[in-house]
């Protein structure tokens, strides 16, 4: 409860800071929206040429895409400081002040900044999901809703865990670590059915950097593709495992933290 | 009762030497040259509740590293620290609730938001009740004159103003121990005085234990009865300020000015064996002596009685000079 109220306060403060420069904020919302529209445009043009992708219809891909945006949007809102962790916190020494407060250090790092404009991705994704749900006349029970919520949480958790792990590298290698951007680009691979890839990439996306568990596998249940049901059942397990690994790695990093001079 | 116990603590860092130039940079990619640096070496001391201790040392002596270990930011390489009943780095969550920290070089407040919002956020983080919060703000305002600053973003404050806010923030949750790392660095005389008054009052009224590091030895002279001196990772001195003065030959000097120019016969004064006299020019003379051997009052009396003097000035050795002396000797003197 205490953490929630602090989170709310962090968030309110951050919004205030961002709205102090309304022009800047509006431009960033606009560019973010333009990016989303462009990626849907790509999907649309692609399916203008081919009617289905290895047995997956346009609407089904749209659903995966929409669900992915829901998770990715929330993740993007929360991940702002993870990319700059090495520079802002380790190299500039701001991690010192994090260590002096009686709150979990990761909690503070994540919630000190938000990419507010990414709520747009979350909203767009939700609209797309609702549209496809309606269009394909997919079943909708209360259980489905609960599962959708659970899958969203798992998806966000998987993204956060992977990028927290990458950020912790900064504890050991003080130089800027440039692995986050290429990994971020790999998120796009998870937007398509893994079956279209070769075995190597399928394995990579499932068990090494489990982005397929954050977008493709969760949607198979709602799309009635029951041949993937065992993967679907594993989603919470994968999310929990990666979260635990990330937290362990993080606390290792904190213990090895060397701070800066003076 | 000891509230901080540091026993045989060392901190070693591994750093990598880097070669210079572009070619050196490429070589660094493949071969790193590790080098171990001992920032703090076998340091032990205790601090009692309610004490105000000055921790001094030159740049890079190990002050900040010690403070960072005491506050739980760094894990000691060996030795043990207990403070307020906790092991700082291990019990960080409970421990940090009971301490306040100010780093003069770096603010603890959030850069972009108004000071009062930072305080509100800290109030939630430390679970401070509304009443305590209001009371604390009143107390701080009385000494630090905070009210005019509360609605300004931190980045727009001057250094002195920011330091006042940082101090208030560190004391907001009524900590039992406060660590101040260079709290007066870069401040003007008035701002320094403000901050010293505040620390004196808080220490006296609330019995808060204060450990402070500083370059400015006048801070220590005004605030602390006890000093720890560290140099190159070693603790060189631990004791009272008077003890420090006594222990190291504190040469005092008296400079006196004659009514009329002339040669003085110092033999008449009768301090030949213990005082070093010197005529500086036709009017001014200097007497250098050790306070342990000669009482300055006696010497002044002798001078005034036997010579026609217009002015007498007594000059004590400053702590600054003593510290310089200790550094140059580099020997270990702990109590």
State pLDDT tens for residues A128-161.
999 999 999 999 999 999 999 999 999 999 999 9
Q: Which of B93, B120, B121 sits opposite A102 (nearest CB)?
A: B93
* Residue pLDDT, tens place only, B269-310: 888 788 888 888 888 888 888 877 888 888 888 888 888 888
Report the C-alpha gap between B250 and B325 in whole angstroms: 10
Interface contact A102-B105, CB threshold 8 A: no
- Span A113-128, average pLDDT: 93
The A-side interface with B (CB below 8 A) comprises 2, 5-6, 9-10, 13, 16-17, 20, 93-94, 96-97, 99-103, 112, 255, 257-259, 261-262
> Are the beta carbons of A107 and A10 closer than 8 angstroms?
no
* Residue pLDDT, tens place only, B144-184: 888 899 999 888 998 888 999 999 999 999 999 999 998 88
Q: What fold does the segment set B251-316 form as a domain?
A: Alpha-Beta Plaits (3.30.70)
Q: Does B125 touch chain A (CB under 8 A)?
A: yes
Interface contact B101-A100, CB threshold 8 A: yes
Structure tokens at B42: 């076998």
DSSP string, A83-99: HTIIIIIIIS-THHHHH
> Are the beta carbons of A170 and A81 closer than 8 angstroms?
no
Percent of all residues in chain B with a pLDDT value above 70, rounded to a whole number = 95
Q: What's the pLDDT band for A175 if we cut at 50, 70, 90?
A: low
Contacts of B110 in chain A (CB under 8 A): 13, 112
Q: What's the pLDDT band for B248 if we cut at 50, 70, 90?
A: low
From the CA of A180, how many Å to the nearest CA of chain B? 20
Percent of all residues in chain A with a pLDDT value above 70, rounded to a whole number = 97
Q: What's the pLDDT band for A262 if we cut at 50, 70, 90?
A: very low
Among chain A residues, the shortest Cα distance to B93 is held by A102
- Span A182-202, average pLDDT: 89
Q: What's the pLDDT band for A244 if we cut at 50, 70, 90?
A: very high
Task: Reply yes or no on whether the pLDDT at B21 is more than 90.
Answer: no
DSSP string, A162-207: HHHHHHHHHHH--SPPTTHHHHHHHGGGGGS-GGGS-HHHHHIIII
| Residue pointed to by tokens 């306070």 | B291
How high is the pLDDT of residue A94?
87
How high is the pLDDT of residue A174?
65
> Mean pLDDT, chain A, as a whole number?
90
Residues 204-223 of B with CB under 8 A from A: none
The ipTM estimated for the assembled molecules is: 0.81
- Span B10-15, average pLDDT: 86
Contacts of B74 in chain A (CB under 8 A): 257-259
Q: What's the pLDDT band for A162 if we cut at 50, 70, 90?
A: very high
* Residue pLDDT, tens place only, A46-97: 777 777 788 888 899 999 999 999 999 999 999 999 988 888 888 888 899 8
Task: Reply yes or no on whether the pLDDT at B58 is more than 80.
Answer: no
Task: Reply yes or no on whether the pLDDT at B335 is more than 90.
Answer: no
Residues 40-69 of B with CB under 8 A from A: 59-60, 64, 68
From the CA of A72, how many Å to the nearest CA of chain B? 27
How high is the pLDDT of residue A183?
87
How high is the pLDDT of residue A177?
58
Query: What stretch(es) of chain B map to CATH 3.40.50.300?
Result: 49-246
Task: Reply yes or no on whether the pLDDT at B8 is more than 50.
Answer: yes
Higher pLDDT, A183 or A213: A213
Strands of chain B (E only): list them: 2-17, 33-48, 52-56, 78-83, 99-103, 177-181, 209-214, 226-231, 234-240, 251-258, 276-279, 284-290, 309-315, 333-334
Task: Reply yes or no on whether the pLDDT at A200 is more than 70.
Answer: yes
Percent of all residues in chain A with a pLDDT value above 90, rounded to a whole number = 57
Domain ranges of chain A: 2-255
Interface contact B110-A13, CB threshold 8 A: yes
Q: What's the pLDDT band for A111 if we cut at 50, 70, 90?
A: very high
Query: What stretch(es) of chain B map to CATH 3.30.70.260?
Result: 251-316
Report the C-alpha gap between B94 and A243 in whole angstroms: 24
> Mean pLDDT, chain B, as a whole number?
86
> Are the beta carbons of B228 and B4 closer than 8 angstroms?
no
Interface contact A262-B105, CB threshold 8 A: yes
H or E stretch including A57?
strand A56-57
Structure tokens at A78: 């929360």
Contacts of A96 in chain B (CB under 8 A): 68, 73, 103, 106
Smallest CA-to-CA distance from A11 within B240, B121, B287 is with B121
Determine which of A96, A176, A259 to mutate to test the interface with B (most B C-beta atoms within 10 Å): A96
How high is the pLDDT of residue B305?
86
Among chain B residues, the shortest Cα distance to A11 is held by B121
The verdict on domain B49-246 having CATH code 3.40.50.300 is yes
- Span B189-194, average pLDDT: 85
Task: Reply yes or no on whether the pLDDT at B28 is more than 60.
Answer: yes
């Amino acid at each position: 409860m205490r953490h929630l109220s602090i989170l709310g306060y962090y968030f309110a403060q951050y919004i205030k800071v961002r709205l102090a420069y309304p022009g800047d904020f509006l431009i960033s919302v606009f560019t973010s929206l333009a990016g989303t529209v462009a990626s849907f445009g790509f999907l649309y043009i692609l399916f203008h040429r081919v009617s289905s992708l290895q047995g997956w219809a346009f609407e089904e891909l749209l659903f995966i895409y929409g669900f992915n945006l829901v998770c990715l949007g929330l993740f993007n809102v929360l991940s702002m400081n993870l990319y700059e962790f090495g520079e802002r916190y380790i190299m500039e020494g701001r991690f010192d002040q994090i260590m002096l407060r009686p709150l979990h250090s990761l909690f503070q790092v994540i919630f000190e900044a938000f990419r507010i404009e990414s709520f747009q991705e979350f909203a767009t994704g939700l609209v797309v999901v609702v549209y496809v749900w309606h269009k394909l006349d997919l079943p909708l029970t209360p259980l489905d809703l609960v599962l959708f919520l659970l899958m969203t949480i798992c998806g966000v958790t998987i993204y956060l865990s992977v990028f927290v792990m990458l950020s912790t590298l900064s504890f050991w290698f003080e130089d800027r670590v440039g692995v986050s951007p290429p990994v971020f680009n790999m998120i796009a691979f998870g937007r398509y059915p893994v079956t279209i890839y070769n075995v190597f990439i399928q394995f990579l996306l499932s068990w090494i950097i489990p982005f397929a568990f954050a977008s493709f596998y969760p949607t198979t249940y709602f799309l009635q593709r029951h041949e993937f049901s065992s993967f679907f059942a594993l989603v919470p397990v994968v999310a929990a495992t990666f979260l635990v690994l990330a937290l362990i790695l993080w606390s290792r990093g904190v213990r090895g933290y060397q701070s800066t001079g003076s | 009762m000891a509230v901080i116990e540091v026993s045989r603590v060392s901190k070693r860092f591994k750093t990598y030497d880097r070669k210079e130039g572009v070619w050196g940079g490429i070589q660094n990619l493949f071969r790193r040259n590790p080098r171990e640096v001992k920032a703090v070496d076998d340091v032990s001391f205790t601090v009692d509740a309610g004490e105000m201790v000055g921790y001094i040392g030159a740049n890079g002596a190990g002050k900040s590293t010690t403070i960072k270990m005491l506050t739980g930011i760094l894990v000691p390489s060996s030795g043990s620290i207990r403070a307020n009943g906790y092991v700082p780095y291990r019990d960080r969550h409970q421990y940090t609730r009971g301490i306040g920290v100010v780093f003069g070089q770096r603010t603890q407040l959030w850069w972009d938001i108004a000071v009062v919002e930072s305080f509100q956020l800290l109030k939630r983080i430390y679970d401070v009740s509304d009443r305590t919060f209001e009371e604390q703000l009143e107390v701080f305002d009385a000494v630090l004159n905070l009210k005019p600053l509360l609605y300004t973003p931190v980045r727009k404050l001057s250094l002195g103003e920011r330091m006042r806010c940082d101090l208030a923030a560190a004391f907001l949750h009524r900590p039992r121990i406060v660590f101040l790392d260079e709290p007066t660095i870069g401040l003007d005389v008035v701002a320094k005085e403000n901050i010293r008054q505040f620390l004196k009052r808080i220490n006296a009224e609330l019995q808060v234990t204060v450990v402070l590091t500083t370059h400015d030895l006048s801070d220590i002279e005004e605030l602390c009865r006890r000093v720890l001196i560290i140099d190159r990772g070693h603790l060189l001195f631990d004791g009272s300020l008077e003890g420090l003065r006594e222990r190291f030959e504190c040469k005092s000097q008296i400079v006196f000015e004659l009514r009329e120019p002339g040669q003085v016969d110092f033999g008449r004064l009768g301090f030949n064996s213990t005082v070093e006299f010197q005529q500086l020019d036709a009017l001014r003379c200097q007497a250098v002596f050790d306070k342990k051997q000669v009482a300055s009052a006696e010497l002044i009396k002798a001078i005034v009685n036997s010579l026609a003097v217009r002015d007498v000035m007594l000059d004590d050795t400053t702590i600054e000079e003593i510290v310089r002396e200790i550094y140059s000797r580099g020997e270990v003197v702990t109590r």
